[in-house]
Chain A
Amino acid sequence: DTAVSQTPKYLVTQMGNDKSIKCEQNLGHDTMYWYKQDSKKFLKIMFSYNNKELIINETVPNRFSPKSPDKAHLNLHINSLELGDSAVYFCASSPHFGAGTEAFFGQGTRLTVV
């Protein structure tokens, strides 16, 4: 079983559209994250939720809205997509938000905005 799974794996869409990326973890972890990796290959944290509560919001445009219906799921909804949103988005989870624990990453969703 995949520990952290994201869907879809690839997403091609036009500018101005609204899209969602789903993430699920079956590890029983309390904390989930979204990261963005742009064309320059830098990984940047976007959001983190701990027990369904937002604890990190890294100056991400409000077109990006994470939603956590339960602690096993953290979905990312993006409104009014722009060309600059093209990137690979990674979901991750960790047992808790404190130091000393490892994070497990999904395989990524490659978003292409045309």
Chain B
Amino acid sequence: DAKTTQPPSMDCAEGRAANLPCNHSTISGNEYVYWYRQIHSQGPQYIIHGLKNNETNEMASLIITEDRKSSTLILPHATLRDTAVYYCIVPSGGYNKLIFGAGTRLAVHP
């Protein structure tokens, strides 16, 4: 899989935007960028994915750089319930085979 690099941890104040970066410099032209999160003791939860264009849904926005070598997940108004480990994943080969790394542990504080 295309290797992704994420900071191990980040902090964010409640109500502020959380911007989680991800580097995927070896990404190929047809590979998607996915974001999942895992809240303590729960199953991973899908957040968003994109190929080339920026994407937005009810949970978050995904900003992909023009060269596609990096992306940023934005949680516009973080809440305490957004405290979780966030995974940036780039499955390879055109298949939906998710390889999870260590992710970024986001702590949202009051």
Category for how many chain A residues contact B: 20 to 34
Select from chain B the residue with minimum beta-carbon distance to A42.
B100
Chain A residues whose CB sits within 8 angstroms of the CB of B91 once the complex forms: 99
Category for how many chain B residues contact A: 20 to 34
Chain B residues whose CB sits within 8 angstroms of the CB of A92 once the complex forms: 43-44
Chain A residues whose CB sits within 8 angstroms of the CB of B42 once the complex forms: 107-108
Task: State the Cβ distance, B29 to closest chain A Cβ, in Å.
Answer: 12
- Number of residue pairs spanning A and B whose beta carbons lie under 8 angstroms apart: 56
Select from chain A the residue with minimum beta-carbon distance to B46.
A102
Q: What is the 8 Å Cβ interface bit string for chain A, positions 98-112, against chain B (1 contact, 0 not)?
A: 111111111110000
A99-B31, A100-B51 in contact; A56/B43 too (CB < 8 A)? Answer: no
**Chain B binding surface, main DSSP class:** loop
Select from chain A the residue with minimum beta-carbon distance to B92.
A99
A12 contacts chain B at the CB level, 8 A cutoff? no
Chain A residues whose CB sits within 8 angstroms of the CB of B95 once the complex forms: 97-99
The distance in angstroms between the C-alpha atoms of A108 and B40, with both chains bound, is 12
The distance in angstroms between the C-alpha atoms of A42 and B52, with both chains bound, is 28
Interface residue ranges of B1-60 to A (CB < 8 Å): 30-32, 34, 36, 38, 41-46, 49, 51
Chain A residues whose CB sits within 8 angstroms of the CB of B38 once the complex forms: 43
Task: State the Cβ distance, A30 to closest chain B Cβ, in Å.
Answer: 11
Task: State the Cβ distance, A112 to closest chain B Cβ, in Å.
Answer: 14
The 3 closest A-B pairs by CB, nearest first: A105-B43, A43-B100, A102-B46
Interface CB pairs A-B, < 8 A, 15: A31-B96, A42-B102, A43-B100, A90-B43, A92-B44, A96-B96, A98-B94, A98-B96, A99-B31, A99-B94, A100-B51, A102-B34, A103-B46, A107-B43, A108-B43
Interface residues of B (CB under 8 A from A): 30-32, 34, 36, 38, 41-46, 49, 51, 85, 91, 94-100, 102
